[in-house]
Amino acid sequence: MKTLGLEGYAGLDVRLTKTTTELRIKCANTRDTVASQSVKIKEIKSLIEKRYNFDDEDNKLEVTLKPLPYERSLSASANVETLKLKLLQGVPVRTAANNIMNTVMRRGQATGCEVMISGKIRGQRAKAQKYTAGYQISTGQPKNDFIDIAIRHVQLRQGILGLKVKVMQGTEIQVGNRKLVMPDQVKILEPKDEDPNIQPQCHEMRQQHHDQDQA
């Protein structure tokens, strides 16, 4: 996380086979990382091999970068790293938080976003500030499926600040080959166009009933 923080580290998938262990690292800036940070990837692989005793024969390690299946502005990890850099550059807390929310809501077209900053923001008294925009689910299994959460810590002169960014991409998201839909979503379909060639049948039905009664 610390090594690939600037590249938009967004998680890790581990796949095991009989002879190999594959680590798939999710990054927002995959192209830039592959082009200019190939040495960094080799260093990560070397450190993992030495720490967990991997070898090239029986237990081989493979490290690959996997791009995000959605836009970078919808990634909570990428946005919390941007927030961290802004605070290190001296940007006011409220300005930095509003900038992150505008990026997520306008550029990413997200359903909801929440930015929480806690610590010694002003003065010696520690407190927490929460900034929200849009709508977010907060309970049940949809919270785990639809909410992307990222947490970071930043060391400033007055102390350590805790940063937390939550992003709800939408009520319908694509996860691999399947599509997740919010359980309480109601979709209203547009009415069908009327065909002018269709004639009403009420008069003909009445005439048939009248003829049957007379018979």
How far apart (Å, rounded) are the C-alpha atoms in residues 45 and 53? 12
Provide the percentage of residues in the chain whose pLDDT is more than 70. 83
Highest averaged pLDDT of the listed ranges 21-35, 59-73, 130-144: 130-144
SS3 18: coil
pLDDT tens-place string over residues 17-31:
877 888 887 777 666
Are residues 40 and 46 in contact, defined by beta-carbon separation less than 8 angstroms? no
Q: In the chain, where does the domain assigned CATH 3.30.1140.32 lie?
A: 72-175
Element (H, E) at 177: none
pLDDT (0 to 100) of residue 214: 66
Which of these CATH numbers, 3.40.50.1580, 3.30.1140.32, 3.30.70.270, 3.30.1180.20, describes 72-175? 3.30.1140.32
Return d(Cα 134, Cα 127) in angstroms, integer.
Answer: 24
Pseudo-torsion of CA 115, 119, 144, 105, nearest 10°?
10
Residue 29, pLDDT score: 67
Give pLDDT tens digits for 176-192. 788 888 888 888 888 88
This prediction has a pTM of 0.71
The third-level CATH classification (topology) of the domain covering 9-67 is: GMP Synthetase; Chain A, domain 3 (3.30.300)
Q: What are the residues whose beta carbons fall under 8 Å from the beta carbon of 32, sequence distance 6 or more?
A: 7
The arithmetic mean of pLDDT across residues 163-179, rounded, is 85
Measured from the Cβ of residue 212, the count of other Cβ atoms closer than 10 Å reads 8
Where exactly does CATH 3.30.300.20 map onto the chain? 9-67
- Lowest-pLDDT choice from 58-62, 82-86, 198-202: 198-202
Angstrom distance (rounded) from CA 20 to CA 59: 5
HSE, side-chain direction, 13 A CA sphere, residue 133: 19
* DSSP E strands, the chain: 9-16, 20-27, 60-67, 112-119, 127-134, 147-156, 159-168, 172-175, 178-181
What is the residue-averaged pLDDT of the chain? 81
Please check whether residue 73 is in contact with residue 104, taking contact to mean a CB–CB distance below 8 angstroms. Answer: yes
Nearby residues of 20 by Cβ (< 8 Å), 6 or more positions away: 59, 60, 61, 62
